[in-house]
Amino acid sequence: MAENIGIIAGGGQFPRLVAEKARAAGLGVVICGFQGHTDPSTMEHADAFELLHLGQLGRMISFFKEHHVTRACMAGSISKPKALDFRPDWRAAKLLFTLKKKGDDALLRAIMADIEKDGIRIVASADLAPGLRAPKGTLTRRAPTEEEWKDIRYGWPIARSMGTFDIGQCLIVREGMVMAVECLEGTDAAIERGAKLGGNGCVAIKMVKPGQDERVDLPSVGLATIRNLVEHHYAALAIQAEKTLFFDREEALALADEYGLAVVALPEDFA
């Protein structure tokens, strides 16, 4: 009997990609999705699928146990503004009551720990699809100019420091000044807001939060991100190598090359 892997599915294509990789590895696929977040077509890639409201922690664990899931992963995005429509069941409410901090990291760590109490081990979804991790180096034909490198060097430690406060993963810089910081609105909205303040030629920086549990919430970019950057006339994008998921990489980098957007993937200790 094949092992079943559980996927806690948010939005976007990541849950589908993880499901496909799991099937290719001979695993059964059991998916829990969330109303208003998970693409309905995700269920087509599952042997068993359940659609829940955010906060139905007890039901999710019961569903996984019903289908003999002993390992599970989190894949896909949760819209933070929509996440305010949180409907905790008794188990989730009890968990929330014990938390001193309710930022992304604190909440996700607590949820994972609670799931593992029932014998379901949480694993890194990125390890099931390792080809999505951005390789180190200049990924586009054009490297950043000297001025763009100055902005990247200026913003990189700020983005790292910002992450220690569990605020967001993306920072927008232009000419040695911070134009926008990602908060509740998400990366795309931060990119748009940064361009409104900074005009053409901004630099976007996205990196993992220091000490972040890599089983959840790794930073990600993709074709939609590049389109957004191009639309708002950005000069460069700097992401953290090996820790950032890069979806539709070939198509996204082709678009970046077409419009002269420089994309680089840098080590965490870049300075």
pLDDT digits (tens, 9 = 90+) for 105-121: 677 788 888 899 999 99
What pLDDT is stored for residue 84 in this prediction?
A: 44
What pLDDT is stored for residue 260 in this prediction?
A: 98
C-alpha 191/C-alpha 89 separation (Å) is: 35
User: Which residues, including other chains, have CB under 8 Å from residue 220's CB and lie 6 or more apart?
Assistant: 12, 14, 77, 244, 245, 246, 247
Low-confidence ranges of the chain (pLDDT < 70): 1, 79-86, 100-105
Check if the beta carbon of residue 205 is closer than 8 Å to that of residue 152.
yes
What pLDDT is stored for residue 100 in this prediction?
A: 66
Nearest 5°: phi and psi at 72? Answer: -145, 160
Check if the beta carbon of residue 240 is closer than 8 Å to that of residue 208.
yes
Q: Are strands 121-122 and 137-138 parallel, antiparallel or unpaired?
A: unpaired
Residues in the chain: 271
Query: Strand locations in the chain, DSSP E?
Result: 4-9, 28-34, 48-52, 69-75, 121-122, 137-138, 170-174, 177-181, 203-206, 220-221, 236-240, 245-246, 262-266
What pLDDT is stored for residue 210 in this prediction?
A: 78
> Can you read off the two tokens belonging to residue 64?
């996984």
CA separation, residue 99 to residues 81, 94, 110 (Å): 20, 9, 8
What pLDDT is stored for residue 265 in this prediction?
A: 98
Taking the complete model, does pTM exceed 0.95, yes or no?
no
